Amino acid sequence: MRNYWKIIDFNVKYINNRTRERAAGSVLFVGLFLFLCRGKMKITIAQLNPVVGDIEGNLRKVADTLFGSGEGADLIVFPELFLTGHPPGDLLEKAAFIEKAQAAVDKLVGISREYPGVGILVGVPVPTGRDTGKGLYNSAALIFEGSILGLQNKSLLPTYDVFDETRYFDPAPGVEVIPFKGEKLGISICEDMWNVPQLWPGRPYTFDPVEKLAKEGATLLVNLSASPFYAGKEEVRYNLIRAHAKKYGIPFIFVNQVGGNDELIFDGRSMCVDGKGEPVFICPAFKEHVETVDAGARGTPGLYVPRDRIASVHDALVFGIRDYMDKCGFSKAVVGLSGGIDSAVTCCLAKEAAGSENVLGVSMPSPYSSEESVEYARTLAENLGVQFKVVSISEIYDSYTRTLEKDLLIKEDKEVGVYLQNIQARIRGNILMAFSNRFGHLVIAAGNKSELAVGYCTLYGDMAGGLAAISDVPKTMVYQLAEHINRESEIIPRGIIERPPTAELKPGQLDQDTLPPYDILDTILYHYLEEGRSAEKIVEKGFAPGTVEWVISHVNKNEYKRRQAAPGLKVTTKAFGTGRRMPVAARYDVWLRR
């Protein structure tokens, strides 16, 4: 491939200097040469983990990849917006940030001179040069031997769920293939490949960039992505990419970001598939990986095996915790261990993410905690090898109640009211934050999605923390994660898994005294939150009207709590956080029930 351009130049001159007959023969020779060379391009897939905002650090990753993998590659492909990290959010609205990104592109152009014959395809924001619109494109820059050979801007800008790209970018005015080393590169960026009717009840876009590139004569489709994880998404992506390759008979290179950025987890699973849709290579999940592939190689049927969903959720959460801690400057974590399944699973995930020597488990028994709860917590900590402390809150709780006895009319309360239960939870939150402030631990909250959805949680209590690790994990999935963690040996004591869930904030308390059974609650929440169904439609599926009404009304009226919750890691199709923006001061229960 190094001498390719010289051969083409020779044949062009030959055509210009000979008769038509000889010219026709030369054209045939060129065509034959192109046919023989086509599909032999060596492409390096750079599935890497950028840090949002760290433009210089991300540029170093590009340079290091070139140094380590540039030899023998024709093209190295990096993910979407790699130089800025994804998603950069409102950093894109800062002129100095864009200037720094452009300076990084200039540096990369200079670096490319040191690697003759190697193309660099990288995601970066690019000013549009227009006075109207947002003024930025989400772009892929093809850099080669000291020049920018081409820019392909993103056409389809998603605005659903966690995406808000029209806030920052203008859509590409058009797409066209970019000739490079005998191939015609059909370059697209993430969402550009997702305009497939089967995926959408109503197509959100009228334009299909991949179809246009194929019609323009693309010989190789390349997609730069920052496609976040949710359980089961890798199968959707694989089938989508395979369908594109089969439909157009063109090999497809997909390069996806890996890493955790705030609530989003990027699983990678970059791949190369041949023109028949068969996989040539698939990168591992949740790991940085650099691999050089032959774009013309034949795929291997059966090479792709979808990952077990619970295993993938487990690995995503571990990866998300690890990256959140690392990128936020934490090396240690603290988890309140109640003796229940939520805190047990959370502690197991934290241990996998940070290492047993960097995790502290704190048991904080109240007057209503059972002895077995403390022992379960202790046994779990011993099984994990994490540090363990017992800090009783009984005296602190007594002090609160004595101080507030008259003002809160505590003697008139025949049982331990919600306000007293919440005092206990907030004492625990204070203790965990004290450990955080004193020793620099990240407090990892252990509340699950089911509780957070209906408000069965305490502001500034069990909701306190810097990261809510399982806030997008329904309670029924928490049990599945526990079984996955125990798949080889009993790490979480069996008693924790089998005991009825309880907050132990008053005598004899059980979750099911307040909540519907978790299998029913989680199914209703799935229909309401992830599928967007009304109460009427959910009732038609066989659920009791009163139960459905209770769940929906509690979801809606507890928005104020979730607005103040710690960031949570997204693992389902609809998580609380930036992907679900509901008003707090509002009345909409009545019409949502219809």
Where in the sequence numbering do the catalytic residues fall? 80, 154, 190
Q: Which residue is associated with the tokens 């051969």?
A: 7
Residue type at 364 in one-letter notation: M
Residue type at 394 in one-letter notation: S
Nearest-angstrom CA–CA distance, 572 and 264: 11
Phi and psi (nearest 5°) for 163?
A: -95, 140
Q: Which residue is associated with the tokens 């997609």?
A: 223
SS3 43: strand
Q: Which residue is associated with the tokens 């200037």?
A: 99
Listed residue (257, 279, 254) closest to 268, CA to CA: 257
CB 36 within 8 A of CB 43: no
Q: Beta-carbon neighbour count of residue 276 at 10 Å? A: 13
Q: Show Cβ contacts of residue 559 under 8 Å, excluding neighbours closer than 6 positions.
A: 582, 583, 584
Nearest-angstrom CA–CA distance, 240 and 327: 32
Instruction: Calculate the alpha carbon distances from 154 to 41, 84, 175, 197, 224 in Å.
Output: 24, 16, 9, 19, 10
CB 303 within 8 A of CB 295: no
Instruction: Calculate the alpha carbon distances from 372 to 331, 348, 429 in Å.
Output: 31, 19, 22
CB 463 within 8 A of CB 440: no
- Most distant CA atoms of the chain, gap in Å: 109
Q: Show Cβ contacts of residue 295 under 8 Å, excluding neighbours closer than 6 positions.
A: 39, 40, 41, 42, 43, 183, 220, 251, 253, 272
DSSP state string for 556-589 = HHTHHHHHTSPPB---SSS-SBTTB---SS---H
Beta strand 271-273 with 441-445 is unpaired
CB 226 within 8 A of CB 154: no
Element (H, E) at 140: strand 136-144
Instruction: Calculate the alpha carbon distances from 546 to 55, 210, 432, 550, 594 in Å.
Output: 53, 48, 38, 6, 14
On the CB side of 48, CA atoms within 13 Å amount to 29
Q: Provide the β-strand partners of residue 260.
A: 265
Nearest-angstrom CA–CA distance, 145 and 116: 6
End-to-end CA distance of the chain: 64
Q: Provide the β-strand partners of residue 360.
A: 334, 387
Angle, vertex CA 477, rays to CA 331 and CA 418, nearest 5: 80
Q: Beta-carbon neighbour count of residue 179 at 10 Å? A: 12
